Structure 1
Amino acid sequence: MLMSSTLPSLDSMGTPVAWADREGRVLGVNPAFARWLGVSARRLVDQPLAALEVQGDALARFLLNDERDVLRLHRLALGLPNDAPRFAEGWLSRLEDGGWLLETHPVDEFPALDPTHALPNALSAALKGLAHELRNPLAGLKGAAQLLARRSAGRDEDERELIELIGTEIERLNTLLERLLSPTPARPHDRLNIHVVLERVLRLAEAEGGWSVQVQRDYDPSIPDILGDGDRLTQAVWNLVRNAFQAGATRVTLRTRVEHGQRIRDRVHAMSLRLEIIDDGGGVPEELAEHLFLPLVSGRAEGSGLGLALAQQVSREHHGTLTYRSRPGNTVFTLLLPELAGDHDKEHLHG
């Protein structure tokens, strides 16, 4: 068996590997591991190996309680706080001196998380049936909203804004129902300001009521416009914010940042958008961690289990990724989207 003291010889390996002492504290990583995580090797040394796992706690449980010498790792997500997680399959092996060797095989993302593959025909049929049932009440709501709008001339500005919001959301729901009932090719993406989308979501959050939640903005005003479907992005972000509310959060932060040289799916982009939805709720239950983005997976008895699956689908429609890391008191959903960075990106997003 290998020993911790001999492991610097792994520096020339192309496979990302890290090694730790018997307490699970990182002694070193090879250059491939540091490049994969996008940090210097020096930042990783002395870190608890288990602390690098940002989704789930398989490493921590194995290091503390397991007597096996080897653990096969599935759906491993590693990273440092505030960094985008990296995904891999891998192995954790016990060394002869009691230390540990972590060998990873990076993947861009986990195929099983694709709701389009996990959504069975029966569920698709059920959604279409539900859409049919919703069309009539929505038509009634639309008529009532139009009547209220005509009568709103003498009302104050706040009331008029709420009436306008009702009408806008009814139209968005009607568009969603049409997509469920008559699937059509994706609409061409328009140039839009992501912060306009986020402000729409904040208006929905204020109108939803029933929660005492502080919603904070942490925007980067230098972010250029992106190409996207404003309605679909609103739906996705609102689902994520609402998920935070329902997890018992008292504070939710919407954060935007520019990323340079970020790999998103199968391409490296000169510039990309990072949108984070951060909350201080109870975190993702361990039993849901591996299946969170699949349809009908919910931690609440009254939940539909569709909100996060739909958000994941919207990210894919925009050639982006949606990932998360979670612990009690700090859950971060990260949406990475290619930014408007020239004609090549524009062509790619319309494709």
Structure 2
Amino acid sequence: MSADPNYKLLLDSLSTAVVVVNSKLEIGYLNPTAEALLAVSGERILKSPVTNFFLETESAIAAMEDAVRYQHHYTKRRAKWQLHNGQLITVDYSVTPLQDPPGLALEIQPLDRLLRISREEAVISAQETTRNLVRGLAHEIKNPLGGIRGAAQLLSRELPNPQLHEYTDVIIDESDRLRNLVDRMLGPRQLPKWAKINIHEVLERVATLISAENIGSDQSHKVTLKRDYDPSIPQLPGDQELLIQSVLNIVRNAMQALSESATPGATITLRTRIQRQFSIGRQSYPLVCRIDILDNGPGIPPEIIEDIFYPMISGRAEGSGLGLAISQQLINQHNGLIECESRPGNTIFSIYLPMEISHAET
């Protein structure tokens, strides 16, 4: 590579990550895109084994050695690499043998952003489909419920024996309960009242409410609330009351899960950060506010982790399965999104809110 500066200039300008290794799989060259992808400095790692900077399976390394030995080309899809800094990335890569001197050229395409966009679009689409289904179902349920309730009230007036009113009261109460359940499934009906808000005021309001609810807990169920704020985050457009409700639903779920599991040292952390050049679905934003709600509880069961934002899905025996669905809907109204990663001892709900929205009335 160093012998022909024209090739180096060409490869340096590519948006595709390119790494060249010798027959011992030692790095001879990597372009700036590859440096950014692998989080390394090219000059410092020359002649170092490529396996020092990303780790795949032993069979994958053996395949590279065979490609050098037998001079064959291959492509691998959706490979999982662990970088030297512990980061996990998903890539497609093609391996091309070189003859003089012998070695390999690796062309690497990172997939994490594309996979994330695809996943977010699926979540947003599924949420919209679910909302439309719930709206239609609510209409079909509430109409006959109104008739049942009205008929029970008329029947109650005509009953000769007052003791029989107990049965009509049950019909009326259960009709009201089902109507309220349907209303909760529909979520808030009002549109956001746009204004410039301080996201930390939202979080502090949630912290105050959660702390008040936590006062009555016995010592073994006490939950510690921690803050990790970035005070430099400017005001952003949003509806403060709707955002409070959205965050409160998530934090309350975390507190209930910690209390029910009697997690030792139960802790919830509220964290804020700025993300730059961040995409939500296919829309790119120069600045996004990320709110993380972390807890060290038992985690969300793997079998429901993909479905927790749908109505009536809950990992708790006493859960209604509506809080997270409503939170996602409220954040969607702010052009944002909620994501979740969970394993025992570490559950993170991340809320992404654009710092600027073109149609917001501020």
User: Where on the TM-score scale, by shorter chain, does this alignment land: which range?
Assistant: 0.5 to 0.7
Change (3 A) 1:35 1:268: farther
**Equivalent in 229, 238, 258 of residue 228 of structure 1:** 238
Measure, in 1, the Cα distance between the counterparts of 2:303 and 2:342.
13
Q: 1:199 — aligned with what?
A: 204
TM-score in terms of structure 1 length: 0.56
Cross-structure match for 1:242: 252
Retained in 2: the 8 A contact 1:118–1:295?
no
Aligned equivalents of 2:320, 2:30: Cα separation in 1? 43
**Contact 1:213/1:245 (<8 A) preserved:** yes
Q: Secondary structure at the match of 1:347?
A: coil
AA at the equivalent of 2:196: R
Instruction: State which drifts further: 217-226 or 285-294.
Output: 285-294
For residues 268 and 289 of structure 2, the distance between their equivalents in structure 1, rounded to whole angstroms, comes to 19
Q: Distance in 2 between matches of 1:13 and 1:191?
A: 41
Pick closer, same or farther for the CA change 1:36–1:318 going to 2, 3 Å: farther
Q: Specify the code of the residue in structure 2 equivalent to 1:347.
A: S
Instruction: Give the distance between the partners of 1:279 and 1:303, measured in 2 at CA.
Output: 18
C-alpha distance in structure 2 between counterparts of 1:187 and 1:180, whole Å: 16
The aligned amino acid for 1:119 is T
Specify every segment of 5 or more residues in structure 2 that has no aligned partner in the other structure, as ranges: 1-10, 20-28, 61-74, 96-106, 146-179
2:305 to 276, 289, 299: 289
3-state DSSP of counterpart to 2:358: helix
* Pick aligned residue for 2:351 from 335, 339, 350: 335
RMSD value over aligned CA atoms?
5.1
Q: Matched residues in 1 for 2:30 and 2:302: separation?
A: 28
Instruction: Summarize deviations over 1:85-136 as a string: whole Å, max 9, x none.
Output: 98x7x77999xxxxxx996544353122125334165533556768xx9xxx
CA contact (8 A) 1:17 1:104 kept: no
Please, what TM-score do these two structures have when normalized by structure 2?
A: 0.55
Q: Matched residue pairs, number?
A: 269
**In the superposition, relative to structure 1, how do residues 17 and 208 fare at CA in structure 2: closer, same or farther (>3 Å)?**
farther
> Post-superposition shift, 1:299?
1.3
Any idea what the Cα deviations from partners look like across 1:56-104, whole Å, max 9, x if unmatched? xxx9xx99xxxxxx99869x9x999999x98x7x77999xxxxxx9965
Question: Matches of residues 10-29 of structure 1 in structure 2 within 5 Å?
Answer: none
Q: Is the 8 A contact 1:280 1:331 kept in 2?
A: yes
Flag the 1:208–1:260 CA change in 2: closer, same or farther, 3 A.
same
Which secondary structure state, in structure 2, belongs to the residue aligned with residue 326 of structure 1?
strand
Equivalent residue in structure 1 for 2:128, among 117, 129, 146? 117
Could you say which structure has the larger radius of gyration? 2
Share of identical aligned residues, percent?
35
Alignment of 1:260-339 (within 5 A): 260-265=276-281, 266-269=283-286, 271-339=287-355
Q: 1:195 offset after TM fit, Å?
A: 1.2
- The higher-RCO structure (CA 8 Å, 6+ apart) is 1
- In 1, Cα distance between the equivalents of 2:84 and 2:339? 14
Task: Tell me how far 1:11 sits from its aligned partner.
Answer: 9.3
Match of 1:170 in 2: none
Q: How far 1:241 moved relative to its partner?
A: 0.8
**Structure 1 residues 303 and 118: alpha-carbon distance in aligned structure 2, compared to 1, 3 A threshold:** farther
Work out the CA distance in 2 between the residues paired with 1:198 and 1:80.
Answer: 35
Q: Is the 8 A contact 1:295 1:305 kept in 2?
A: yes
Q: Select between 193-202 and 243-252 the one with higher mean Cα deviation.
A: 243-252
Asked if the contact 1:118–1:294 (Cα under 8 Å) also holds between the matched residues in 2, the reply is no
Say if 1:208 and 1:316 are closer, same or farther in 2 by CA, change over 3 A: same
Partners in 2 of 1:325 and 1:124 — Cα distance?
29
- Letter of the 2:307 counterpart: H
